[in-house]
Amino acid sequence: MSKRLILVLTLLFVVGTTFAAFAEVQNVKVSGDITFYGIARNNFDLGRPSTTTDPNTKERNRLFGTQTRLRVDADLTDNVIATVRLINERNWTTEDSSNTNIDLDLAYVTLKEFLYSPLTLSVGRQEIRFGNQLIIGNSNNYTSAALNGFPADLSVRNAFDAIRATLNYDPLVIDAVYAKISNSNTNASDDADLFGVNASYDVSKKLNIQGYIWDKRSKAEDPATNSKKDNVYTLGALITAKPITDLKLSLEGAWQFGLDRVLSSNNTSDKRKAYALQAMADYTFSKVKFTPSIGAGYTYLSGPKGGKYGGWDPMYYNQVLGNIAYAILPFSNMQAIGVRGSVKPADDVTLTGSVTNFSLVKEVSSYTSLYNNATIYTTTKKNLGNEFDLTATYDYTEDVQLGLTWGYFACGNAIADSRGNASQLIGSMKVTF
């Protein structure tokens, strides 16, 4: 009898504490999305296969894939919000324990009015984006997606493990961020960390100015740069303006400077001095039938220099200047000039297109492709190639969007001994709930 009584009391205690815990939750929102892909890619290695000895082999990649995300936002008491999002990105062709994993995409807590009314604190795995995402936007946390056979450049895993403090003194907003990028061995000094401050000021409804400084510190050896330590300071500013209705302009400049890269080969240091410049303009004819829009962009990322390490460090950019180039070309020692446009022939149909030229800033004998780590050999020329992209999207319902994307990268004379241009065709269906 006493054992039963103890059991009943234990159950009542568990149920009571459970209900007490749930009573603290004021609101719970469940959302997510599922995206299906059909992908056909040709010659993304630009005729430079990394896994075969046949130099004439042209790569053909055909696959179906799915991205699934499930998000829960729980509003708790006293301005406390908990957010969790799970993700699975996988290739349909195989199914085993490695590619059916459900991974943690977001897991953070937001504390509004933390200790001080204008202060908001966010702790945990979260997405962090500033400005046009030339510097900060993607943590490159897509290793799991690539291992599962899903193209890394299409992955939506962008989150940082970070602590973010936001001071909102409207019209001035200041963000201070610390992120742990990697910690391969907890017993060794091989961490990579990110520290930074971003300040945004609305001069008026038509003009915004942002300034930032970021410090990326890496203690691990990097075979690509032959370095043991690499501290990158990035100082920059972004101006965004809407001088007239439907016109949007932006100008951003950044400088990487004044730090030593300790080379593992001879334990010497090398000064870094690099810079980036980006200008964009977009105009929408909002009162014209089919709502056409046009735009242009210019991006300059410095290359190597004699006596100083001048190659731009890509930091954690999240910009797609060209769909194929994003998967292939390193975001450094590059100049990109592009034009783009869009039109809406129907309320639920949008057509977009772009043409972009990519070229080297400084001639190099070779560099490593982002796609499969293949070596792309270059000549004394600078023209890397031209990319053409076309995309059609159809809003089937408010929750379902169908898309078709075509891309073609025509190699320029800077790519030596190219055995074919790269192309792709991607069909997609995205369901949001």
List, for residues 55-71, the tens digit of each pLDDT value: 556 678 899 999 999 99
Across the range 297-326, mean pLDDT stands at 89
Model pLDDT, residue 147: 65
Name the more confident of 311 and 325. 325
Residue in the block written with tokens 């100049």:
335
pLDDT band at 148, cuts 50/70/90?
confident
In this structure, what are the phi and psi dihedrals at residue 328, rounded to the nearest 5 degrees?
-115, -50
Distance CA 104, CA 106 (A): 6
Q: What is the pLDDT of residues 107-136, one digit of tens each?
A: 999 999 999 999 999 999 999 999 999 999
> According to CATH, what is the number of the domain 34-432?
2.40.160.100
pTM score over 0.85:
yes
Burial of 77: CB neighbours in 10 Å, binned 0-12, 13-18, 19+ = exposed
Across the range 68-82, mean pLDDT stands at 95
Model pLDDT, residue 15: 36
Least confident stretch, 90-99, 146-155, 396-405: 90-99
Name the more confident of 364 and 174. 174
Using the CB atoms, write b or e for 311-333: b if 16+ within 10 Å: bbbbbbbbbebbbbbbbbbbbbb
Model pLDDT, residue 98: 55
Indicate if the pLDDT at residue 51 is higher than 70: no
Indicate if the pLDDT at residue 387 is higher than 70: yes
Model pLDDT, residue 19: 38
Q: What is the mean pLDDT of the chain?
A: 86
